[in-house]
Amino acid sequence: MIGKAKTRFFIRTFGCQMNVNDSEKVAGLLRAEGHEPAADPATADFIFVNTCAVREKAADKLYHSLSRLKKLKAERPGLRIGVGGCVAQLEGERILEKARHVDLLVGTHTLHRVPELLREAAGRPAVDLDRKANAFAVPDAAIDHLSPVRAYVTAIEGCNHVCSFCVVPRTRGPEVNRPPDAIVREVEGLVKRGYREVMLLGQTVNAYRFEDLDFADLLARVDVVRGLRRLRFTTSHPEHVTPRLADALRDLDTVCPYLHLPVQSGSDRVLASMRRGYDRRRYLATIALLRDRVPDLSLTSDIIVGYPGETDEEFQETLTLLQDVGFDGLFVFKYSPRPGTTALRLADDVPDEEKSRRLRVLNDHQQRLQRARNEARVGGRDKVLVDTIEPGGASGRTPQLRIVHLPGAGPNALVARLSQPIH
Ligand code: 5AD
């Protein structure tokens, strides 16, 4: 099993864009060593589960996944199983106690060691959970980007915020800013390989700082990479939205007028308890600044319902916030207590049915608002970067990240058009 034997690998990814990007790195590194991707778990010799710890449900998915894999391994003893990412970092070797069929365990900073550990994992599990390892250790060229047009590029690892509900600082550690030259070099390489769109990633990407460069400066550095068409970034924190960032969104050619700006709640009491660093008035002032400077800006957000002590009145304040802002998309989550967070000290006192009700009410309300916003665009024109071509048609995204379906634009019609240079 060891030595130079080539493996077919399958990676299962849970969670955010950073996790997707981490999996792209693992896939690329495995491929660089001659291993090959398998189309599905049933034909793989190595299955790697990249985990998410942000909500309890997300963490549970690991154990569900592992119990299914246990059966698979019983049928095929040569199968090896790896676990990595945020749950691995959080739970550590407890995973090996709960699931003895796991052969390899890496954290959030040691994913680049997967190929090496796979060689070592014979007979007993190979483990590296070192959080001080170099998070940027993967060579750019080794990253196996899933999309043919859009590539994720890491700008910051980790997070320095102390939001009461959030486990991420514990899993991914404090912020580490990647040098701007390395980011620009990676983008140049991607454009040469044909990518048209880049999404800069960080848990709070707009907190970026490297020596005297801030995030707006970084955008300006990447914007001038020749051949790049679209530049996006996620996730932004309201506290780090500056007039300079608004101007970058307006003035830089490649930067798309789109911002994901999680608000989490519309109630000042809840926001203070969450330690978000802004209140409702300040969030709305930030939105006003952005809308004032950036024409046709698209805004999306995250909201948590049923945070400890959230009253119906406080929930109503979140509901009215949707109206006041006019989001183009919304992700609503039920509060879930997480280990090592400060909110854990507060009673999780909103019953689950009530959390579900609030989630439904918010989603319904957002649907209505969103429909009206979308209907107002009927008859308009938008540039679409096609990213998916299927027999029945194609689809892609506008600069505002709206999905556009192009029914009937089948492969032949589009390939003929796409093979022309894009203007
Ligand atoms: N419970 C519920 N939702 C959470 N999020 C983060 N932590 C929790 C938690 N403990 C949500 C936030 C964040 C998104 C990625 O996940 O809304 O913005």
Report pLDDT digits (tens) over 212-250. Answer: 999 999 999 999 999 999 999 999 999 999 999 999 999
Q: What is the dihedral of CA 156, 197, 14, 139, to 10 degrees?
A: -60
Least confident residue range of 20-34, 119-133, 211-225, 312-326: 119-133
Q: Which atom belonging to ligand 1 lies closest to the Cα atom of 166?
A: 7
150 alpha carbon to ligand 1 midpoint, in Å?
25
Per-residue confidence (pLDDT) for residue 131, from 0 to 100: 87
Mind listing the pLDDT tens digit for each residue in 120-172? 887 889 999 998 887 677 888 889 998 989 999 999 999 999 999 999 999 99
Q: Which atom belonging to ligand 1 lies closest to the Cα atom of 331?
A: 17
Which residues in 387-405 are b (16+ Cβ under 10 Å) and which e? bebeeebbbbbbbbbbeee
The predicted model scores a pTM of 0.94
166 alpha carbon to ligand 1 midpoint, in Å?
6
Which residues line the pocket of ligand 1, CB cutoff 6 A?
54-55, 165-166, 262, 264, 302, 304, 333, 335-336, 338
Structure tokens at 277: 């660093």
Per-residue confidence (pLDDT) for residue 236, from 0 to 100: 98
Q: Tell me the average pLDDT of the chain.
A: 93
163 alpha carbon to ligand 1 midpoint, in Å?
10
Q: Which atom belonging to ligand 1 lies closest to the Cα atom of 16?
A: 15
Least confident residue range of 71-85, 222-236, 247-261: 71-85
Probe ligand 1: pick from 86, 165, 260, 344, max atoms within 8 Å of CB?
A: 165
399 alpha carbon to ligand 1 midpoint, in Å?
26
Probe ligand 1: pick from 302, 327, 356, max atoms within 8 Å of CB?
A: 302
* Strand positions, DSSP E, 252-408: 258-260, 298-305, 329-334, 385-390, 393-397, 403-407
Mean pLDDT (whole number) for 260-268: 98
Does the pLDDT at position 422 exceed 50?
Answer: no
Q: What is the pLDDT confidence band of residue 409, given thresholds at 50, 70 and 90?
A: low
Probe ligand 1: pick from 17, 55, 56, max atoms within 8 Å of CB?
A: 55
The conformational region for residue 154 under phi > 0 = left, psi -120 to 50 = alpha, else beta, is beta
Helix, strand, coil % in the chain, rounded to nearest 5 = 40, 20, 40
Least confident residue range of 29-43, 121-135, 270-284: 121-135
Q: What is the pLDDT confidence band of residue 2, given thresholds at 50, 70 and 90?
A: very low
Nearest to 53 by CA among 158, 172, 157: 172
Q: Which residue has the CA at smallest separation from atom 2 of ligand 1?
A: 335
Q: What is the pLDDT confidence band of residue 414, given thresholds at 50, 70 and 90?
A: low
Probe ligand 1: pick from 18, 166, 259, 283, max atoms within 8 Å of CB?
A: 166
CB burial of residue 421 (10 Å; 0-12, 13-18, 19+):
exposed
Does the pLDDT at position 376 exceed 70?
Answer: yes
Least confident residue range of 237-251, 265-279, 308-322, 398-412: 398-412
Which amino acid is it at 170?
R
pLDDT above 90: percentage of residues in the chain: 83
Per-residue confidence (pLDDT) for residue 420, from 0 to 100: 47
Q: Which residue has the CA at smallest separation from atom 7 of ligand 1?
A: 166
Angle (CA) 213 214 216, round 5°: 115
Q: What is the pLDDT confidence band of residue 95, given thresholds at 50, 70 and 90?
A: very high
Q: Are 151 and 195 in contact (CB under 8 A)?
A: yes
